[in-house]
Amino acid sequence: MAKDTTGLMDVLGIKSAHLVGASMGGMIAQEIAISFPERVRSLTSIMSTTGNPKVPPPTREAAADADGAAADHARKNISTRFAQTWKILRVGSFPEDEALDRARAERTYERGLNPAGVGRQLRARARLRQPQANACAR
Question: Per-residue pLDDT for 16 more than 80?
Answer: yes
Q: What is the pLDDT of residues 75-87, one digit of tens each?
A: 667 778 888 888 8
CA gap 62, 83 in Å, rounded: 13
Asked, for residue 65, whether it belongs to a domain, the answer is no
Using alpha carbons, select from 25, 46, 57, 22 the residue that is nearest to residue 129. Answer: 57
26 and 48 assigned to the same domain: yes
Q: 19: pLDDT confidence band, cut at 50, 70 and 90?
A: very high
Overall number of domains in the chain: 2
Residue 29 confidence (pLDDT): 92
37 and 8 assigned to the same domain: yes
Asked, for residue 34, whether it belongs to a domain, the answer is yes
Residue 12 confidence (pLDDT): 96
Phi and psi angles of residue 15, each rounded to the nearest 5 degrees, phi first: -75, -40
Domain that holds residue 90: 72-114
Q: What is the pLDDT of residues 76-117, one digit of tens each?
A: 677 788 888 888 888 877 888 888 888 888 887 777 766 677
CA gap 113, 92 in Å, rounded: 25
